[in-house]
A and B are shown apart, each in its own frame.
Chain A
Amino acid sequence: MKKELGKKPIEEASLPDEIVIPLSQNLGSPCKPLVEIKQRVLVGQKIGDSDGFVSAPVHSSVSGEVVAIEPRLSFSGDKVLSVIIAPDGNQETSSFSGFSESEAKDADKVRVAIREAGIVGLGGAAFPSHVKLSPPKDKPITDVIVNGCECEPYIAGDHRNILENAEIIIDGLKIIMRVLGAERGYIAIETNKIDAIHHMNNLVSSEGNMRVVPLSVKYPQGAEKQLIQVILDKEVPSGGIPCEVSALVHNVGTTIAISKAVREGKPLFERVLSVAGPGIKESKNLKVKIGTPVNHLIEECGGFKGEPGKVILGGPMTGFALFDLSVPIVKGTSGVVVFPREMTIASNPRACIRCGRCVQVCPVRIMPNFIGQYIEVGMIDRAEDADVMDCIECGLCGYVCPAQRPLIQLIRHAKAKIIADRKKGGS
């Protein structure tokens, strides 16, 4: 199924009647609105920004009129202040221009451009890219990895991006390497995307300091720390970030966005994603305007096949199940996956039978079984001692558990509690 979707070219999704752009789409400080109700906005116009360093501005994805600025439901289930725009259909573009070749060599200017373009990690974490590109002085980055491993089932947007936009990816990687003064660039692609590997290999062969790394298909290979481990044979210290091993990972989509921001001055207002799953009539790879409601995309794909049971924003291993389909696509949305009702059997959790499956699959090699049991009885501190904070929330432990234990739920609960406690302790 995934293979077939990888063969489908990216299509441009139609404009919805209403665009909802949340002012907080990424980790870090939320944006303040820069527009007013009734104001006319253009494609690519900045409509929200924040002073915080760990933040990225948001832009309008359409030309039209701001009809409201109000809290709207976001994918996480919370209400988030959002700018609501009625598109006029003309898609009139605000003027933006790229850098000349000499300007593109100025690292600081490039960083500013990337920030101004509102670029965040498109793989899902939505971490502001310019922050990643500003490592501490004493920790220079030598290795840059472009992550083309789409390990979540059903999703194929990155695969299509590699096939259709390989030159732009290479250019983006060059820009990143130059900004950081990095020595080596890697493009990691899983071996089930042979066409993508060949295509990329042909283009990269002339670049001396870049190479394509074919990787076996093994979830969660695409997770940042796991990629660094297999490609560079280094482990990021527990609780640390990749720059501590002189590495940086950017997703394929992010790399494209970086190139476009620098060469064309184009802000991040659209992205490629897959609408897929056994519960949708026709799976598609779509280029979608940020702020498009999920139900518009479902119509775009012919509607549901059978009675819908679950609609997931992101991939089926780690994504969010939605209860309301008016939720908009944000920068970090890599897919919309639909399962029909008959495939969503209610799970029936039992006590751990100590089969060890979760222990064997955990990529960070913690003990999900014990951690789950500690959290269940409220022993959050024991869970913390057992390194629950190192969990990358890949979802594998819950996937394999024959006792259907809600391990991720428990782990997220504990993590939230520990973070809250640490904050309290810190202030």
Chain B
Amino acid sequence: MNSELIVSAPPHIKSHETIGKLMGWTFLALLPVVLLDIYLFGGHAIRTISLSMIAAVLTEAAILMYRRMPVTVIDGSAALTGLILALTLPPKVPYWIPLVGGFLAITFGKQLFGGLGYNIFNPALVGRAMLFVSWPEILSNSWFAPLKELDAITSATPLMALREISAGNLIADISVVYKPLLFLNRGGCLGEISALLLILGGIILVSRKVIDWRIPVSFIGTVIFLSFFARTNILITLLGGGLLLGAFFLATDPVTSPVTRKGRVVYGIGCGLATMLIRLYSGYVEGVMFAILFMNSFVSLIDRYTLPKKYGLVKAK
């Protein structure tokens, strides 16, 4: 009897949190967006999303096998990278774009650094950025009208509209811009389809403590604050250009964001600042993406300068 007792170091009880569960909640939070994508774009959405996920998972498995490491794809992290990458793509991209993207994301965004936990940059964004740099015209010209027409609206993306608006008529027609932004936004990437569903997903993640509210709040707060000063249309700035997707699902990737509470606020503010600078001073609609990648590179620095004040800081003599 005695020989069968398990001996291990304390603690002997564990919270029920595991990496797999954290990933599971994130999938769940994104599910409404995915379902709406499938409803609106049908086979195109299914194809882009599934190919991206398959490519990410297979790449991860192959590299882990090659490195003779346990093949841990069951934790869902590669699949999640694939899904998030797909959500940053326009619905109608050639089938090889998500395939190549998933491969690039896992290879150059994650495994090259040593795998889960060791990467510096958000893998999905690394994949997205590499695609964007290599095939810019494909990634910006694949807007695709949903199968279900809801309103006859402009085919320009809201952020392009924003540039026009702020140039002249500040009063945007609510039915033309806000409504599609809040509910259905057909001109944009798969993950921008509905601001409401993204916010819902974000609330799920925050309430389940999967992500720290400090990052999205400071990120979005900074953007609101700056757009107030830059006199851009706050709602459009907020609801378009992947800001919500970025603030809730990309900037909050634990591996590539700070571990300290203070650090997360600093990081969120940095993301917001960088987003607005890129949006205002360059033509890139992709401000959010580059802003997050940019801030990723400062994470360890931020951690180092925001260490919590230790208990009993005064050392005993």
Interface residues of chain A: helix, strand, loop or mixed (majority): loop
A318 to B9, CA, bound (A): 8
Q: Which of A196-255 contact B (CB under 8 A)?
A: 225, 229, 235-241, 244
For residue B8, CB closer than 8 A to chain A, the reply is: yes
Question: B310 near A400 (CB under 8 angstroms)?
Answer: no
For residue B12, CB closer than 8 A to chain A, the reply is: yes
Tell me how far the C-beta of A111 lies from the nearest C-beta in chain B, rounded to whole angstroms.
24
Tell me how far the C-beta of A123 lies from the nearest C-beta in chain B, rounded to whole angstroms.
15
Q: Which of B206-243 contact A (CB under 8 A)?
A: 212
Nearest opposing residue in chain B for A240, CB measure: B316
For residue B183, CB closer than 8 A to chain A, the reply is: no
Question: A238 near B212 (CB under 8 angstroms)?
Answer: no
Question: A317 near B12 (CB under 8 angstroms)?
Answer: yes
For residue A353, CB closer than 8 A to chain B, the reply is: yes
Task: Please tell me which one of the listed residues A312, A322, A347, A350 contacts residue B72 in the complex, with CB atoms under 8 A apart.
Answer: A350
For residue A100, CB closer than 8 A to chain B, the reply is: no
Nearest opposing residue in chain A for B21, CB measure: A402
For residue B136, CB closer than 8 A to chain A, the reply is: no
A355 to B212, CA, bound (A): 9
Tell me how far the C-beta of B315 lies from the nearest C-beta in chain A, rounded to whole angstroms.
5
A367 to B7, CA, bound (A): 26
Question: B17 near A317 (CB under 8 angstroms)?
Answer: no
Question: B116 near A353 (CB under 8 angstroms)?
Answer: yes
Question: A353 near B314 (CB under 8 angstroms)?
Answer: no
Question: A402 near B10 (CB under 8 angstroms)?
Answer: no
Of A40-48, A161-169, A356-364, the one contacting chain B is: A356-364
A244 and B6 in contact (CB under 8 A), knowing A367-B307, A404-B14?
Answer: no
B-side contacts of A402, CB under 8 Å: 15, 17-19, 21-22
Nearest opposing residue in chain A for B8, CB measure: A321
Tell me how far the C-beta of A58 lies from the nearest C-beta in chain B, rounded to whole angstroms.
26
For residue B260, CB closer than 8 A to chain A, the reply is: yes
Task: Name 13 extra pairs, CB < 8 A, besides A320-B10, A365-B308, A404-B14.
Answer: A225-B312, A308-B1, A312-B10, A312-B12, A316-B10, A317-B12, A351-B114, A353-B117, A355-B22, A390-B311, A398-B14, A402-B19, A408-B10
Return the 5 tightest CB-CB contacts between A and B, nearest first.
A351-B117, A240-B316, A395-B11, A356-B259, A364-B311
For residue A153, CB closer than 8 A to chain B, the reply is: yes
A356 to B116, CA, bound (A): 15
B-side contacts of A353, CB under 8 Å: 19, 22, 116-117, 254-255
B-side contacts of A339, CB under 8 Å: 12
Tell me how far the C-beta of B128 lies from the nearest C-beta in chain A, rounded to whole angstroms.
21
A-side contacts of B254, CB under 8 Å: 353-356
Question: B10 near A359 (CB under 8 angstroms)?
Answer: no
Q: Which of A326-379 contact B (CB under 8 A)?
A: 337, 339, 344, 346-347, 350-357, 359-360, 363-367, 369
A356 to B19, CA, bound (A): 13
A408 and B11 in contact (CB under 8 A), knowing A322-B5, A400-B17, A402-B19?
Answer: yes
Question: A237 near B9 (CB under 8 angstroms)?
Answer: no
Tell me how far the C-beta of A78 lies from the nearest C-beta in chain B, rounded to whole angstroms.
14
Tell me how far the C-beta of B7 lies from the nearest C-beta in chain A, rounded to whole angstroms.
4
A313 to B114, CA, bound (A): 39
A235 to B313, CA, bound (A): 8
Q: Which of B1-36 contact A (CB under 8 A)?
A: 1-15, 17-19, 21-22
For residue A39, CB closer than 8 A to chain B, the reply is: no
Question: B117 near A400 (CB under 8 angstroms)?
Answer: no
For residue A96, CB closer than 8 A to chain B, the reply is: no
B-side contacts of A320, CB under 8 Å: 10
Provide the B106-120 mask, 1 if CB < 8 A to any CB of A, else 0: 000000001111100
| Residues in chain A within 8 A of chain B (CB atoms) | 77, 153, 225, 229, 235-241, 244, 308-312, 316-325, 337, 339, 344, 346-347, 350-357, 359-360, 363-367, 369, 387, 390, 393, 395-396, 398-404, 406, 408-409, 412
For residue B68, CB closer than 8 A to chain A, the reply is: no
Nearest opposing residue in chain A for B254, CB measure: A355
Question: B117 near A399 (CB under 8 angstroms)?
Answer: no
A310 to B5, CA, bound (A): 6
Tell me how far the C-beta of A355 lies from the nearest C-beta in chain B, rounded to whole angstroms.
4
Question: B9 near A323 (CB under 8 angstroms)?
Answer: no
Question: A352 near B117 (CB under 8 angstroms)?
Answer: yes
Task: Please tell me which one of the listed residues A229, A344, A356 contacts residue B260 in the complex, with CB atoms under 8 A apart.
Answer: A356
Question: B310 near A387 (CB under 8 angstroms)?
Answer: yes
Question: B309 near A365 (CB under 8 angstroms)?
Answer: yes
Tell me how far the C-beta of B132 lies from the nearest C-beta in chain A, rounded to whole angstroms.
26
A71 to B94, CA, bound (A): 75
A382 to B38, CA, bound (A): 51
Tell me how far the C-beta of A237 lies from the nearest C-beta in chain B, rounded to whole angstroms.
4
A321 to B9, CA, bound (A): 7
A324 to B22, CA, bound (A): 37
A240 to B259, CA, bound (A): 28
Question: B18 near A400 (CB under 8 angstroms)?
Answer: no
Nearest opposing residue in chain A for B3, CB measure: A323
A-side contacts of B4, CB under 8 Å: 308
For residue B48, CB closer than 8 A to chain A, the reply is: no
B-side contacts of A359, CB under 8 Å: 259-260, 308
A11 to B121, CA, bound (A): 60
Among B14, B19, B312, max chain A CB count under 10 A is at: B312
Question: B12 near A321 (CB under 8 angstroms)?
Answer: yes
Question: A238 near B260 (CB under 8 angstroms)?
Answer: no
A240 to B317, CA, bound (A): 8
A244 and B316 in contact (CB under 8 A), knowing A309-B5, A365-B310?
Answer: yes
Question: A238 near B19 (CB under 8 angstroms)?
Answer: no
Tell me how far the C-beta of B13 lies from the nearest C-beta in chain A, rounded to whole angstroms.
5
Question: A239 near B316 (CB under 8 angstroms)?
Answer: yes
Question: A319 near B12 (CB under 8 angstroms)?
Answer: yes
